[in-house]
């Protein structure tokens, strides 16, 4: 499959993330996109869907709690005050809209886990 990936699609990954030693490539016929799955330092998984013209269709990037921006953490903790932030997925859609899916663990009346989805545009107001 890697041989069938257009150079412009490879260039998107290179330009955005630098040299990635191992990338798993696939093609999704439903969305007509190339899928690139790889890991960054610290076991951060990244899943990209890239159009054949080299533009981003969607992205999902794991972000450890220590690297989540403070404004995202603050918004998530407004939803569940006192919770512990476990990590997040940074989701980007085809329009460039970013959504943070933050994992929280709270201990009110026993343990529970909850994900809070926060649109980036809402956070930067």
Whether 47 contacts 37, CB under 8 Å: yes
Name the strands in the sheet holding 33-40, side by side, starting at the edge strand that comes first in the sequence.
24-28, 33-40, 44-50, 56-64, 84-92, 98-106, 112-119
pTM for this model (two decimals): 0.82
Whole-number Cα distances in Å, 4 to 1, 25, 49, 122: 5, 9, 15, 39
CATH architecture label of 1-61 = Roll (3.10)
Instruction: State phi, psi for 8 to the nearest 5 degrees.
Output: -65, -30
Per-residue pLDDT tens over the stretch 29-77: 999 999 999 998 877 899 999 999 999 999 999 999 999 999 889 888 8
């Amino acid at each position: 499959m890697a041989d069938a990936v257009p150079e412009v699609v490879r260039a998107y990954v290179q330009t955005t993330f630098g040299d990635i030693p191992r990338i798993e490539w696939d093609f999704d016929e439903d969305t007509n996109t190339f899928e690139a799955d790889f890991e960054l330092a610290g076991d951060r998984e990244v899943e990209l869907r890239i159009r054949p013209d080299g533009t981003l269709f969607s992205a999902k990037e794991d972000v450890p709690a220590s690297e989540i921006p403070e404004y995202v953490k603050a918004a998530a903790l407004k939803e569940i005050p006192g919770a512990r932030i476990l990590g997040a997925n940074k989701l980007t859609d085809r329009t460039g809209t970013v959504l943070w899916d933050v994992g929280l663990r709270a201990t009110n009346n026993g343990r529970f886990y909850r994900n809070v989805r926060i649109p980036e545009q809402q956070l930067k107001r």
